[in-house]
Each structure stands twice: as structure tokens, then as C-alpha cells.
Amino acid sequence: MEPQPTEALETVFRLESPRVIAGVARLVRDVGIAEELTQDALVAALEQWPRDGVPDNPGAWLMATARRRAVDLIRRRENYACKLAEIGRDLPTAAAPPEEPAGPDDIDDDLLRLVFTACHPVLSAEARIALTLRLLGGLTTPEIARAFLVPEPTVAQRIVRAKRTLATKNVAFEVPYGPDRAARLGSVLEVIYLIFNEGYAATAGDDWLRPALCEDALRLARVLSALMPKEPEVHGLTALLEFQASRTAARTGPDGAPVLLKDQNRRRWNRMLIARGITALDRAHTTGSGAPGPYVLQAAIAACHATAYTYQETDWPRIATLYGLLAARAPSPVVELNRAVAVSMAEGPAPALTLVDALAAEPALRDYHLLPSVRGDLLLRLGREAEARTEFERAASLARNERERELLTRRARGTDG
């Protein structure tokens, strides 16, 4: 059975809208207007496709329709500018519309411009995430709201304000070069990383995993790798997400409860994603000439887990070393906490507990539930069960995710006599 026009349109629009918005934004130089024109093309398709049938190349149809509307808008602006010129005699005439992209490579360039615009550091992290999922992920406002467990009006306001900020700040629709490139690229990678992490271990709500968010982030990372093949950190992030996503099926039990790494059935890990991760990590090493960046180091750590067929075979000394390099490259209390976990497996719980206790005064970890969780695990391995129970109870009280809270509560009860 052939898909109905409306079903086909929904699928095509989700897949093609980023490219259409990017192509139109190149003409009008405003992502907000570009999205509106793309939505106009969607409305036109809703009117024509049920009557005339789905075109042979629906993506090209949407692009052409949206571009025509963009050119009409530019011409109206030109006419208005000409009338002003006739009145004032000294006002410059608006420039002719830019030429349309000539081929697929130009469209890819437009898509890359859209990535850097949506993730511009002039926007807050929340705004960048919402705008990226809307423009590049093809998600609707209700879908974004459900994914992040926030009210729809909140997401809508973030998106509207983000587009307004880009316009009022005159953010150029361009790919940055020179000194600005590294900082801007860092913002792009951070957005994709945050989207994936929210899907991989949700900060709040009843579900620990939100696979759709992981899939969106991984798709964006793969697109970025294709658009920026010479950037090692882009390949590093892609490799990291491939490795992490490979464990998804094994990270929860039949009832949705979290399954710890040491208890996971590694036969359920996705070997195809692991192979893709290894390939991406190899590309990162091949394209990089200096010291590896934070995402490449994290990918190397994830590779140690992904290539170990059992928990006992994990190369914990190498992981501890890599975390040390990561701590030097991108200092963070969370990185130090993860390094302590690796040290506990490589050298034992006692030296690791010393490292964890040194982090107790860190302001960033004051309400971080994994600090008492890790400390409870170390105390339990040292036979200090009463202290471990107290730590697990504290961790449970700090956890915002219901599934994680239940897991920590069970661990606390498991330390009873």
C-alpha cells in the first residue's frame, strides 16, 4: 500500500526541513523568516499533494516552493526600497537577490551555516538546544517539550526568543573561520552532546532512557562529520555517541529499571554501532595533528568499554590514564569523579576513596547525586556497610530521575544487615 500524501509529507518534511530552511536562509539571511517560508511550503504541499499526488522528488518540490516564496519576499523588499529611493533620491537600491545554490555541495554548505547559526554562543544553552532540535532535528515544539519534560509554552518562548536574538544581534549566516572557528565549533559540539546525554540518562522524569533524543543527537553528529571531515573533535564526538548508543538495549531491564555497566548483557550491545565508533575514532586520530581533544579522549575511554567482551576484561589502568589526560585537557570535578571510579577498578577502592573525599567540597558537586553514589559504592567494597547505606540514601534523595532514585534506594536497602 502506498503511503498517503499527508503521511509521506510528514516523513519528508522531518527529513528535508533542515536543508530547506538552510537553503532559504542563505537567501533571506534570517533563520526565523526561513523557517516561516519553509512552513509556507509545507502548507502548499498539504493543499496540493492530496489533490495532485506526491511528487517524484518531494524534497526538491519543498525546496523549490520555499525558494520561490523567498525570492518573492526579496523582490517585495526591493520594490519597497526602490520606492524609498524615488522619494528620498539618496537611499541606495537593495542588492539583487543572491544566486540560488548550484548543487548539492552548496546545499551542504548552507546546512553547515545553519548548524553554526542555531548553536551560536550568543544564545543560552537551553535556547541552542531547542532551536537545534527544531531547525535541524525537525522536531515540533510539543515533541521537544515532551523530550525535556518542560511546558510547551516554555519551549515555544525559547525558540521565539532565540530567533529574535539572532536577528537583533545581526548574527551572520556563515561558517566561521580563523580564531572564531574553534570556539564556535565547541558550542555546536556541546549542544549535540547535551541532547544525547539527556536521552542517555534523563535528568528527571519517570524514564531513565529517551532513545529518540539519542537518535536525534547521533544523526546530527553524523551529519556534522560529513560536513566537516577534517575536524578531529567532530569525529571524536561522533565516535563517543556511537559507542554510548551501542549499549542502549542493555542499559535497562524489562521493567525499564537501569542496569549497571557491570551487570549488562554485552551480547545485547550493538556491534554495528561499535564498529562505526571505531571507524570514527580512527578518523579522529588520522585528522588530528596535536594532542587529542576532550571528545576524542572521551571516545577513547568509551572504546575501552565497548571492546571489552566482559566487565573483568576492561582495561581500567588505561581508562584511568585517559581520564587523567582528560582532566588536564578539560578540568572538571565530574571528570575527576569518573577518574576516581577508574582508579578504584585499577588500584582498589581505598585510593579512590581518597580522591572522592577530596571532591566533597566542590560547589559543582554539592547536589550531584553521583558523588554520594560513588562514595557509597567504594565504602561498600571496603566493608563499611552502614556508611555506604547513608551515602546511597543521600544519593537517592538528590536524584531527580525516578528510575535512578529507585535503583539507589534498592542499593541502600541492600546494605541492611
- Write the Ramachandran bin of 383: left for phi over 0, alpha for psi from -120 to 50, otherwise beta: left
The pLDDT of 369-378, averaged and rounded, is: 95
Position 236 pLDDT exceeds 90: yes
> Which triple of cell numbers denotes residue 408?
539507589
Position 376 pLDDT exceeds 60: yes
Residue 99: what pLDDT?
44
331 Cβ partners below 8 Å, 6+ apart? none
d(CA 179, CA 159): 28
Short-list 1, 79, 14, CA closest to 42: 14
Residue 82: what pLDDT?
56
Residue 102: what pLDDT?
40
Residue 90: what pLDDT?
44
Residue 345: what pLDDT?
95
Residue 166: what pLDDT?
93
- pTM over 0.85, yes/no: no
Position 1 pLDDT exceeds 70: no
pLDDT tens column, 11-49: 777 778 888 888 888 888 888 888 888 888 888 888 888
Residue 45: what pLDDT?
84
The pLDDT of 324-348, averaged and rounded, is: 95
Asked if 373 contacts 365 with a C-beta cutoff of 8 angstroms, the reply is no
Between 73-87, 184-198, 374-388, 390-404, the lowest mean confidence (pLDDT) is in 73-87
pLDDT tens column, 112-155: 889 899 999 899 989 999 998 888 888 888 888 877 768 999 99
d(CA 215, CA 196): 8
Percent of the chain residues topping a pLDDT of 70? 87
> What are the beta bridge partners of residue 258?
252
Asked if 65 contacts 44 with a C-beta cutoff of 8 angstroms, the reply is yes
d(CA 247, CA 235): 19
Position 84 pLDDT exceeds 80: no
Position 88 pLDDT exceeds 60: no
**For residue 299, what pLDDT band results from cuts at 50, 70 and 90?**
very high
Beta strands in 12-97 (DSSP E): none
Percent of the chain residues topping a pLDDT of 90? 46
Return the amino acid letter for 24: V
d(CA 98, CA 151): 39
The pLDDT of 87-110, averaged and rounded, is: 46
